[in-house]
Every structure is written in C-alpha cells, then in structure tokens.
Copies of this chain bind each other. A is one copy, B any other.
Amino acid sequence: MPESRRTLWGARTGVPLSQSVLEYTRSVDVDLRLLPDDVDASLAHAAMLQRAGLISADDQRAIASGLQRLRSEYEKGELVVAAGDEDVHSVVERRLHELVGEPALRLHSGRSRNDQVATDLRLYARRRGRQVLGAIAELQDVLRARGEQHARSVMPGYTHLQRAQPVSLRRHLGAYVEMLERDAGRISDALRRADVLPLGSAALAGSTLPLDPGFVAEQLGFAATSRNPMDAVSDRDFAAEIVFSCALLMVHCSRLCEDMVLWCSSEFSFMSFDNAHATGSSLMPQKKNPDVAELARGRSARVIGDVVSLLTMLKGLPLAYDRDLQEDKRPLYDGLDTAQETLVILTEVLRAARFDTERMRAAASDPALLATDVAEALVRRGVAFRQAHEIVATMVRRSSAEGRSLAEVRAAEWDEVSPGSGAELVALFDVDAALARREADVS
C-alpha cells in the first residue's frame, strides 16, 4: 500500500483508499487549525493513561515531549502535512510516531477521533470565544467614550428613517453598547454550556478501559464531563449556539454600519471616516467610501448563512456520530473570525471618526421634531392624549400648508385650540431644552 494512502484504519480492508475519495473526505486543510487544541487534549489524555496504568511513565514522557515539539513546529510553520494525512489527528499521530517511535502507538488507547475532535473543537471555541468577548468590550469602550464626548451633541432620532425626536449622539451610540452587552451575555452562556469534556466517550459507547475523564477535565479546565457518550460525540449545540450568537452580533454590527453609511453620505454628512480608514475609486477621483462599514454589513449575511449550514447539517442525523458532522468547522471558524475581525476594525474606525455636530444640530432643529413635546405638554394640562395628538397634527398640517414651521405657530393660535396653553407651548421650541427634558439621566 502506498504510504500516502495509509490511514489510521487501513488494516481492515487491505486496499488503499481511492485518491479521489481521500481528497473528498480529508479535512486536514480545515482542521489543522485545531492542532494546538489537539496537542493540549492529547497531553492531558496521555497523563491520564499513565495514571491509569495504561501506559508507562517513560512512554508518557516521550509522548509529552514529542507533542511539545510538534506544537513548536506548528507554531513556527515547520510542520509538514503528508499526502496521506486525513485530518489533524492523523498529522499528530504520524508526526509523533516519527518523533518518538513506539510510544506514539499507545496514545490512542481509550479514545476515538469522535470524542477527540469534539474535545478539540470545544477547546478551540473556548479560546476564540474569549477573544471575541474581549473585542466586544473594546468596542463598547469606544462607543461609551465617544458618547461621553457627545452627551450634549443633539441629533435627530429617527423612526422609519424619518426625523422623529431629538436625541444625543451619546444615546444613539449607547444603543449599540446595550446590544453588544446582550451579545456578550449570549456568548458567555454558550461557553458555559460548552464547558463539558467529551473525551472518554470514545466512539459512542465509552471505553472498556479504566479511564478517568474527571482527571482529564481538570487538566483541560473543563467544568464537567459529559453524562452520555452517544450525546457527547454527536453534540454540536455549542457550535450552533456560538455561531448564532456571532450572527446576531454581526446583525448588530450591520445596523451600526448602516447608520454609519447613512451618516457618511453627502445628504446626512453627520460623520466622516478618517482618511486612513476610507477607500477610494479606481475610476472616480473624488470618491471617499466607507467600505469597511459596507463589508461588515455584507459579512453579517455570511454568518447568517453559517447558522443555516450548521442547523441544516445537524437536522435529521440519526445517533450517534455521522460523518456529516465534519462540516461543523467552517461555519464555526467563520462566525468567530468574522465577529472578531469586525469588532476590531469598527473599534479602530469609530475611535478616529469625526462627527459633524453642527450638521447634526441643524438637522435636529427642525421644529416638527418637537410635536410630541407639544402634545405631551397639552396632556400635562389635562387634555386627553388622543385629543392632544389630533390638535397638534392638525396644527402641523395647517402650518405646513402655509409654509410655516411648527415653531412659527403663534401663542394666540395655540390658545385658540387649547385655551391658555399658548405661552407654554411656544416656549417649548428649544432643542437643547427638549434634549434635557429626556436625557437628564441618559445611560
């Protein structure tokens, strides 16, 4: 059998695997990224095997030093994938054998690639998930800091993309702080739920060897060991939950980016990117484009697709492990990568962006934005809200037909429709006061 087609299981059939089947089934291009996690898990597994008397102390030492060296080769970019390596586990076992000889053949005792990859993937999800949590906190910090600078920068709050009521830029940015807080909560919950060690479940039914999963869990920092091996080898809930959390996080980033794209338009002109952050056109010499925001928006769509890929892949698989599960990695990587990269770049862009507070203030000074303030003043004077709404709406319509703004309605006219209210109502039309009425205690 050509060495390049020798697999971890080849003795069963005695014939080499077809080259095209090897190419269709091999996952090493995708799962090599798990090598540090595979090494960590193997170190803990070997330590356990030694404690359980299944391998000697010498063997364990050889395995441990070989694994450390292998990791170092990987980190230096020196690890070579052989033509016949099916996956990261094959790479590790083959290279370890080259490095330490016979002890390498003892490492796979009591485990299967099924529980091994499930363990690797949880370790990976944990370290990457924590990085995303850090990146969330940094974006929140910038949003809060920019908000504090602009607690008094008044701008129109929009509903239906129509100017609605005055808000501060602090409040607008603060909405994203809240969204990100929930995102962090979701990812933390997912990591907590993922904090269970599958190793020891073997292929699906546990092992007949005297393993000690509790020891391995402790070594790897897992809070618990799995209760049911059939579940453990086929559970990818943690991947689906993390990718969903990343998708919703990206949806929030996409909303922020939609705001930024609008604000960067000539029509809004509320914001401009730092020149080092905006891109230009290969054709039109005058262009300054907020591409980062558009790409973040576009990439959110990709992560939504990742959620679908994962859920659809899982749906309808019979117990326990099926090879379909190999398709778990790309969506998980993509969700975590996209989330992290997007958080980092938005943090950088927002830190340096310039807000045009004059344009914002001018836009917020449209008196129509205070129509609700007038209606609520009438309510405080005892008018039923629905009547107050109608009074103001009628006045909006009338003044607009006459080419006057609501601020230009005279006290006497208000007195006509709501006797005695005129003086109070005409005094409402100050946008800073309107802001103060709402945001004394802004978050």
Assess the A277–B318 pair: CB atoms within 8 A.
no
Residue of B nearest to A314 (CB): B251
The distance in angstroms between the C-alpha atoms of A325 and B7, with both chains bound, is 40
Given A105-B384, A167-B230, A298-B313: A12 and B393 interface contact (C-beta under 8 Å): yes
The distance in angstroms between the C-alpha atoms of A193 and B171, with both chains bound, is 21
A138 is an interface residue with CB less than 8 A from chain B: no
Which chain B positions have C-beta within 8 A of A410? none
The distance in angstroms between the C-alpha atoms of A111 and B283, with both chains bound, is 7
The distance in angstroms between the C-alpha atoms of A74 and B111, with both chains bound, is 45
Which chain B positions have C-beta within 8 A of A254? 315-316
Which chain B positions have C-beta within 8 A of A423? none
A17 is an interface residue with CB less than 8 A from chain B: yes
Which chain B positions have C-beta within 8 A of A112? 281-284
A432 is an interface residue with CB less than 8 A from chain B: no
Assess the A248–B258 pair: CB atoms within 8 A.
no
Assess the B230–A279 pair: CB atoms within 8 A.
no
Query: Beta-carbon contacts of A380-419 to B below 8 Å, as 1s and 0s?
Result: 1000111101101111110000000010000000000000
Which of B230, B237, B288, B372 touches A182 (beta carbons < 8 Å)? B237
Assess the A280–B205 pair: CB atoms within 8 A.
no
Can you list 13 A-B contacts (CB < 8 A)? A11-B285, A17-B277, A18-B277, A24-B345, A112-B283, A159-B281, A175-B231, A186-B193, A202-B283, A255-B318, A259-B318, A286-B392, A294-B324
The A interface is mostly helix, strand or loop, or mixed, namely: helix
Interface size class of A (residues with CB under 8 A): 35 or more
The distance in angstroms between the C-alpha atoms of A320 and B166, with both chains bound, is 12
A84 is an interface residue with CB less than 8 A from chain B: no
Which chain B positions have C-beta within 8 A of A214? none
Given A102-B384, A318-B262: A203 and B248 interface contact (C-beta under 8 Å): no
Which of B21, B284, B299, B348 touches A276 (beta carbons < 8 Å)? B21
CB distance from A368 to the nearest CB of B (A): 4
Given A9-B280, A13-B397, A160-B294: A309 and B301 interface contact (C-beta under 8 Å): yes
Given A171-B228, A276-B21, A309-B301: A319 and B108 interface contact (C-beta under 8 Å): no
Assess the A285–B375 pair: CB atoms within 8 A.
yes
Which chain B positions have C-beta within 8 A of A298? 313, 322-327
Residue of B nearest to A202 (CB): B283
Assess the B186–A319 pair: CB atoms within 8 A.
no
Assess the B21–A284 pair: CB atoms within 8 A.
no
Assess the B230–A172 pair: CB atoms within 8 A.
yes
Which of B186, B276, B283, B301 touches A18 (beta carbons < 8 Å)? B276
CB distance from A229 to the nearest CB of B (A): 8
Assess the A316–B283 pair: CB atoms within 8 A.
no
CB distance from A49 to the nearest CB of B (A): 9
A66 is an interface residue with CB less than 8 A from chain B: no
Q: Which of A123-131, A215-223, A239-247 contacts B (4 or more CB under 8 A)?
A: A239-247
Chain A stretch 78-120: residues in CB contact (< 8 A) with chain B: 89, 93, 102-114
The distance in angstroms between the C-alpha atoms of A294 and B254, with both chains bound, is 17
The distance in angstroms between the C-alpha atoms of A330 and B149, with both chains bound, is 40
A141 is an interface residue with CB less than 8 A from chain B: no
Assess the B174–A228 pair: CB atoms within 8 A.
yes
Assess the A438–B315 pair: CB atoms within 8 A.
no
Query: Beta-carbon contacts of A196-208 to B below 8 Å, as 1s and 0s?
Result: 0000001111111
Given A17-B279, A164-B205, A231-B175: A302 and B313 interface contact (C-beta under 8 Å): yes
Assess the A304–B312 pair: CB atoms within 8 A.
yes
The distance in angstroms between the C-alpha atoms of A251 and B310, with both chains bound, is 10
Assess the B161–A344 pair: CB atoms within 8 A.
no
CB distance from A227 to the nearest CB of B (A): 4
A145 is an interface residue with CB less than 8 A from chain B: no
A341 is an interface residue with CB less than 8 A from chain B: yes
The distance in angstroms between the C-alpha atoms of A289 and B307, with both chains bound, is 27
Residue of B nearest to A367 (CB): B286
A8 is an interface residue with CB less than 8 A from chain B: yes
Which of B186, B281, B392, B438 touches A285 (beta carbons < 8 Å)? B392
